[in-house]
Structure 1
Amino acid sequence: MELDLFADPPSAERRPTPHPQPPQGLPLYIGTSSWSFDDWRGSLYPADAKPADYLTYYAQHFPVVEIDTTFYRIPTPSMVDAWYRRTPDGFRFAAKIPQVITHEKVLRDCQAELQQFTEAMSRLGEKLGPLLFQFPYFSKRHFATPQAFVDRLAPVLEQLPAGLRFAVEIRNRWWMTRRFLDLLRAHRVAFALIDHPWMPPVQELVRQHDVITADFSYIRWLGDRRAMEAVTQRWDRLVADRQQETTAWVGVIRQFLARQVAVYGFYNNHYAGHSPGSIALFYDIWQRQPSTSP
């Protein structure tokens, strides 16, 4: 039976329904960008859930989450320890690298902040997943050429601590050059694929480039923030039909898994209106899509 993906959220009397689980045995980790949404009460969380308990409930449904708060400040040790305690064995945390590094200093003189951040996140131990350099769109005032960005990025990647996984996200489509991807590959840093208006569709990217630069892939389904907020200000149900895009992504992810590449993927509410619903759609299409690969 197919999921009623566009149904109204459950009433306050209903308990949340179980969400689809990833296929057994595959290194496929699909979650959401952040977990702190009151609008998920009654669908993902119990209607009377307290914000302090959201993460615990979240981890009952999904194996991984992307932490958004680390973009705004380096977490304290007590914050990181609380994340660890509130999640079960086997859970994974990905996290955004602080904006002071990617947006304010733009990779200049940021080694102290990067070290402080990685040391804090390392307290998660075996639960720590990839750490994301999320860069904004840069005008030519910042970087006159794609190579100028590569030259700025290279020394930072050379100094990354061993034993941790990193990914790099760009939003300038003409920066997709062989030198950029080869730099990531040389340091085993993943190229972060994003579903976003400023970047090419995934089918175009994988046709033109080998986008696998590490032993894992990092995917973010972001959508068009401005367009979505013109449609809804609530994040309790799907309001956009993403079946066509999701079908394409499922096919690409199957290809990655066939190459023995682990996949971390994160849905944003702005992609279709309700991240948990987007995950449900993903697994619904996964189960229905014929394939001889994983």
Structure 2
Amino acid sequence: MEFGKVTPEELAGIDFRLPPDRAETTALLSRSKHNDQKTKVYVGCAKWGRKDWVGKIYPKGTKEADFLSHYARHFSCIELNATFYRMPTESQTIAWRNKVGKDFQFCPKFTDQITHLRRLKDVQQLVDRFLAGIAGFGENLGPVFLMPHPGMGPQTIDTLEAFIQSLPRDLRLFVELRHTDWFSDPESFEKVFNMLEKYEAGAVITDASGRRDCVHMRLTTPQAFIRFVGNGLHPTDYTRVDDWVRRIKKWMDEGMEKVYFFMHQHEELHSPELCKYLIGQLNKHCGTAIPEPVFVPAGELFDVPVKKKSVAKKTSKR
């Protein structure tokens, strides 16, 4: 992942501390009806098709067709960027669903035909195809991830709102904003985040070294979708994770319903190591009991994938 990438020399000068929660975030969590229930925390990566994970978390000799089955043993969700590059089909998503357990969550990204080529305009037929494709995930469908084209700034808020309003109401949606003007102009910031809260659409928080403005700490639902971009297991990766664990614990105490935490690296080779550290700290400080990724012992040659199925889910219009 190249977003927010900086040089090694620049890392020392970056203030990685998380900003305080915005007042709206605290107020929203205080209204949550989830206070007496346990927060569900999902942790995952952005890819399962990593050949360099063979011999690390995939047993030696694992075939590419079995990567997802093994991935789902270590992680509870996937930020599915594959659907950004290629329109999903129902047969494809059913096949993926059949390789994971019943609690695993696929979080697919809207295809670039919708978000980048047409910039959310005149896309109803494409959206219908996309929704039909991801329906194959059934109960394994997590929140859907919308990243408008980075060139779409505050002047396109009406287009963004119309698009969100057109979606099925029971589609769990998170939106990642990248245009800098959303964050630099207070009026635009307030307007767009209030709009997201109005439609119960979540706001993605992307923690990347070179784009600290995207660490906005303005939740619009009592759920969080965090995209953490590390720097190859640099020491700051660990202190940043520690900061996130403290913030997640605070949110849990205030009524957070769900947290989706997706680990990225500019070189994804080391994402499993940082996930293991994150999960260990969450279990230690937040009272969770998330299974940690298990690394392949030296000399282990194979394992047998497990397949489970779930049922499709229905949608109604937003």
| Category of TM-score, reference length = shorter chain | 0.7 to 0.9
Question: Structure 1 counterpart of 2:43, which letter?
Answer: I
- For the 8 Å contact 1:217–1:264, the answer to whether it is kept is yes
Q: Distance in 1 between matches of 2:244 and 2:214?
A: 10
| Alignment partner, residue 174 of structure 2 | 167
Poorly superposed stretches of 4+, deviation over 6 Å? 291-294
- For the 8 Å contact 1:94–1:129, the answer to whether it is kept is yes
- For the 8 Å contact 1:268–1:275, the answer to whether it is kept is yes
Find 2:258's aligned residue among 251, 257, 262: 262
* Pairwise CA distance, 1:292: 9.3
| Alignment partner, residue 240 of structure 1 | 234
1:40-61, Cα deviation, whole Å (9 max, x unpaired): 1111101110010000011111
- For the 8 Å contact 1:56–1:87, the answer to whether it is kept is yes
5+ long unaligned stretches in structure 2:
1-36, 184-188, 290-318
| Alignment partner, residue 278 of structure 2 | 282
1:185-228, Cα deviation, whole Å (9 max, x unpaired): 011110000012224274xx33xxxx2212321111135xxxx6
Q: Secondary structure at the match of 2:200?
A: coil
Question: Structure 2 counterpart of 1:166, which letter?
Answer: L
Deviates more, 1:269-278 or 1:241-250: 269-278
* Pairwise CA distance, 1:137: 2.9
Find 1:31's aligned residue among 28, 44, 48: 44
* Pairwise CA distance, 1:174: 3.2
RMSD after superposition = 2.4
Aligned sequence identity (%)? 29
Question: Structure 1 counterpart of 2:234, which letter?
Answer: A
Map 1:8-19 to 2 at 5 A.
none
Find 1:193's aligned residue among 201, 205, 223: 205
| Alignment partner, residue 15 of structure 1 | none
| Alignment partner, residue 219 of structure 1 | 226
Could you tell me the TM-score, scaled by structure 2's length? 0.71
* Pairwise CA distance, 1:27: 0.6
- For the 8 Å contact 1:171–1:199, the answer to whether it is kept is no
Find 2:134's aligned residue among 115, 121, 125: 121
Q: Distance in 1 between matches of 2:39 and 2:198?
A: 26
5+ long unaligned stretches in structure 1:
1-23, 229-237
Q: Distance in 2 between matches of 1:293 and 1:65?
A: 19
Q: Distance in 1 between matches of 2:245 and 2:174?
A: 20
- For the 8 Å contact 1:74–1:117, the answer to whether it is kept is yes
